[in-house]
Amino acid sequence: MVEAKTITLILKIWRQAGPQADGHFATHQLNGLNQDMSFLEMLDILNQQLTVAGQEPVAFDSDCREGICGSCGAVVDGIAHGPERGGTLCQLYIRHFKDGQTIWLEPFRANAFPVLKDLLVDRSALDRIIQAGGFVSVNAGSAPEANTLPVAQPLAEQAMDTAACIGCGACVAACQNAAAMLFVSAKISHLALLPQGQTERKRRALTMVAAMDEEGFGSCSNQRECEQVCPKSISIRSIARLNREYLTAIVDEE
């Protein structure tokens, strides 16, 4: 049986006591880390050590730890969710780092994502965008027959690809303008492609884009940073679809 190799990592972690407090990077060295542990498990070990030493543990978000909920977002060495593509922070493993490496860890940076504490940010702006139009109207009652509304296979695949968005906010953190276009376009696209989403199709595009602008997100400049860090690998082609949906709704209103 081969024993897992252990390494030492030096963490430069952003510490901020509250939304109005000044923040700073604190240095912590962790020895004997199992390379098979996840990044969040490493943070758990750090917090154990801080608690035993009578110090304030690092505040960070996590829930499912299976790459499903998207709540674990943070910036590792300048990259949202870390250097490995196609995964969330909880799916990043210590084996991706070198022994003795220094890692810089900070929260998502965007005006629409105010820092609450340490690595915690308020991402409720994304929820308010969904509330503005990311829903469909259906009749109450029992579930309809699955084959009542046939959907062409290519459209179903495209809809599922965009519906995979977990709303983690990495696209916003990666964008130089802190734009939420990839998130909004994914939510608009998957409903626009399905028959269930046709009733509010035009209104949805107008209201969700208006909500996005109201929250203070920036504009898209097609640099594709969002696509690079998206844990679900959502393509910026959905942004093109969002633009078409929005322009069509504007023209029809006039």
pLDDT of 137: 83
Q: Residue ranges of the domains in the chain? A: 6-116, 124-137+150-253
pTM comes to: 0.93
**What six digits make up the tokens of 102?**
């220094």
DSSP code string of 93-158? BGGGS-TT-EEEEE----TTS-EEETTEE--HHHHHHHHHH------SSSPPPTTSS---HHHHHH
Specify the fold of 124-137+150-253. Fumarate Reductase Iron-sulfur Protein; Chain B, domain 2 (1.10.1060)
For residue 8, the surrounding DSSP H or E stretch is strand 6-15
Q: In which residue are the tokens 């640099």 written?
A: 223
In whole angstroms, how far apart are CA 13 and each of 127, 164, 247? 27, 30, 43
pLDDT of 133: 94
pLDDT of 2: 53
**What six digits make up the tokens of 215?**
């929250």
Nearest to 88 by CA among 247, 229, 248: 229
Q: Which residues contact 132 (CB under 8 A, 6 or more apart)?
A: 207, 208, 210, 211
pLDDT of 145: 78
pLDDT of 140: 74
pLDDT of 146: 72
Q: Are 208 and 249 in contact (CB under 8 A)?
A: no
Distance separating alpha carbons of residues 12 and 31, to the nearest angstrom: 15
Nearest to 213 by CA among 249, 246, 252: 246
Nearest to 240 by CA among 165, 189, 187: 189
Q: Right CATH number for 6-116 from 3.40.50.720, 2.40.170.20, 2.60.60.20, 3.10.20.30?
A: 3.10.20.30
* pLDDT digit string (tens) for the chain, length 254 residues: 556 689 999 999 999 999 999 999 999 999 999 999 999 999 999 999 999 999 999 999 999 999 999 999 999 999 999 999 999 999 999 999 999 999 999 999 999 999 999 999 999 999 999 999 999 887 777 877 777 888 999 999 999 999 999 999 999 999 999 999 999 999 999 999 999 899 999 999 999 999 999 999 999 999 999 999 999 999 999 999 999 999 999 998 76
